[in-house]
Amino acid sequence: MITVEQAEKTIQSQLRHFGVEEVFYETALGRVLAEHLYADRDLPPFNRSTVDGIAIKFSTYNDGLRSFKIKATQAAGENPVTITAKDDCIEIMTGAALDDSADTVIRYEDIDIADGIATIKNIEIKKGQNIHLRGKDKKQGDVVANAGRIITPPLTGLAAAVGKTKLWVKKLPRTVIITTGDELVNAEETPTPYQLRRSNGTVIKSVLEKYKINAQLQHWKDDAELISNQLARCLSNYDVLLMSGGVSMGKFDHVPQVLEELGVEKLFHKVQQRPGKPFWFGTQGNRTLVFAFPGNPVSVFMCLHRYFIPWLENTLGIQSQLQGYAVLQKDIYFPYPLQYFAQVKLDTSHQGLWQATPVDTNGSGDFSNLIYTDAFIELPLEKNEFKKGEVYKVWRYQPA
């Protein structure tokens, strides 16, 4: 039996690259950018008025002039009007372009207009005010977004702004979720008194949606031959197999043996942790990864967030969306020689501190608490007593 740290290290040594593909920017949300985005022209592309008012040449103001004839009105998007006469100004709208003949913009609030003449109130005017200069944000050819970033809403906007409507993104692993267990029936079915409706597949699939992985769902009976045939097919069709069930010591726990018969190399079986001790992990020929979690819903959920998602994030080269640190709000006593992952409710104090309040659970079988909690707090193996006020690593499964 290996430690959580060893298990993590083993998994993280199996990062993969699945290549890239091109997607339309409006459907790219949540994907990982695989190319740099460049400014196709200066940003802003012209000297741009940031207010509504009048544009003048500062030197005339400096010479003492305060009243200007409105030569033209210029809306955003129009070609800039040129000031030719000394006492001319342009009535200009937010976002409109200025050419070199104008270098200062005065807000409507700071002028009076009558009979086509704009008169500046008794206020101080600074040369260049209210103008967003061409290229101030970015120069043409500058990188506006680096490869490797998650495509967030502002990034879709930036792609639109630079006219990059097709984006190269990292491909996602082809993923299949496989649940096993004769006692499990579909959610639509009425179970016999000794059966249960299955839920692990749906839960895993839902978690992966955030990462835009559209995983396939399979459920198989605890039949060694059937499992073997189906697994052989999945091993050639997918990059990642996320399994739940069939990895304990039971007589019908065929999964580890069948996987090894099919040439999947076991990298570990059993981790010194609760929940999730019987977790099995292996790979087939530097390609397919098999995460075979125990069938218990809380075990699956913990292993998914503690092992698979961090592997996925590293494989995609993105920052962890899950991991943080929080202050324990209640003592926990855990007497077993296992690393304990306790379900906690997270909140932020008005001092900006993450606080983790453990929720009493009835052991790892009770997944009904997961909906009331936000994270697993990871309590080190070396200790049995964890005190209020101590800070530990947390793995969040709800957005903070």
Which of the residues 337 through 376 are near a copy of itself (CB under 8 A)?
Answer: 348-355, 362-363, 365-368, 370-371
The strand order across the sheet containing 375-379 reads 273-274, 339-348, 375-379, 391-396, 323-328
Binding of a copy of itself at residue 194 (CB under 8 A)? Answer: yes
Q: Which is nearer to a copy of itself, 16 or 253 (CB)?
A: 253
Contacts of 8 (CB under 8 A, 6+ apart): 306, 307, 310
How far is it, in rounded angstroms, from Cα 367 to Cα 180? 18
- Residues 95 and 76: beta-carbon distance below 8 Å: yes
The strand order across the sheet containing 131-132 reads 97-98, 47-49, 131-132
Of the chain, the end-to-end C-alpha distance in Å amounts to 33
Q: Which is nearer to a copy of itself, 64 or 352 (CB)?
A: 352
Binding of a copy of itself at residue 336 (CB under 8 A)? Answer: no
Binding of a copy of itself at residue 82 (CB under 8 A)? Answer: no
* The only residue of 34, 81, 89, 96 in contact with a copy of itself, by rule CB under 8 A: 96
Binding of a copy of itself at residue 95 (CB under 8 A)? Answer: yes
Binding of a copy of itself at residue 200 (CB under 8 A)? Answer: yes
- CA 316 from centroid of its chain's CA atoms: 11
Give residue for tokens 């949300």.
29
Overall size of the chain counted in residues: 400
Provide, rounded to whole angstroms, the least separation between the CB of residue 296 and a copy of itself.
Answer: 8
Give the CA angle between residues 295, 384, 379 to the nearest 5°.
55
How far is it, in rounded angstroms, from Cα 191 to Cα 14? 39
Q: List the interface residues with a copy of itself, window 228-247 (CB under 8 A).
A: none
Provide, rounded to whole angstroms, the least separation between the CB of residue 251 and a copy of itself.
Answer: 6
Binding of a copy of itself at residue 101 (CB under 8 A)? Answer: no
Contacts of 369 (CB under 8 A, 6+ apart): 343, 359, 361
Q: How many CB atoms lie within 10 A of CB 271?
A: 26
Q: Which is nearer to a copy of itself, 100 or 182 (CB)?
A: 182
Q: Which is nearer to a copy of itself, 7 or 111 (CB)?
A: 111
Binding of a copy of itself at residue 327 (CB under 8 A)? Answer: yes
Stretch that binds a copy of itself, among 223-231, 255-263, 295-303, 330-338 (CB under 8 A): 295-303
Q: Which is nearer to a copy of itself, 6 or 79 (CB)?
A: 79
Q: List the interface residues with a copy of itself, window 52-71 (CB under 8 A).
A: 52-53
Q: List the interface residues with a copy of itself, window 147-176 (CB under 8 A).
A: 149, 152-163, 165
Q: Which of 283, 285, 287, 294 is nearest to 255 (CA)?
A: 294
Provide, rounded to whole angstroms, the least separation between the CB of residue 58 and a copy of itself.
Answer: 19
How far is it, in rounded angstroms, from Cα 23 to Cα 232? 31
Stretch that binds a copy of itself, among 5-13, 14-22, 184-192, 279-287 (CB under 8 A): 184-192
Q: Which is nearer to a copy of itself, 16 or 256 (CB)?
A: 256
Stretch that binds a copy of itself, among 1-9, 121-129, 255-263, 325-333 (CB under 8 A): 325-333
Q: Which is nearer to a copy of itself, 103 or 374 (CB)?
A: 374
Binding of a copy of itself at residue 302 (CB under 8 A)? Answer: no
Binding of a copy of itself at residue 335 (CB under 8 A)? Answer: no
- Residues 3 and 339: beta-carbon distance below 8 Å: yes
Q: Which is nearer to a copy of itself, 85 or 160 (CB)?
A: 160
Provide the pairing of β-strand 117-120 with 111-114.
Answer: antiparallel
* The only residue of 15, 85, 123, 400 in contact with a copy of itself, by rule CB under 8 A: 400
- Residues 205 and 303: beta-carbon distance below 8 Å: no
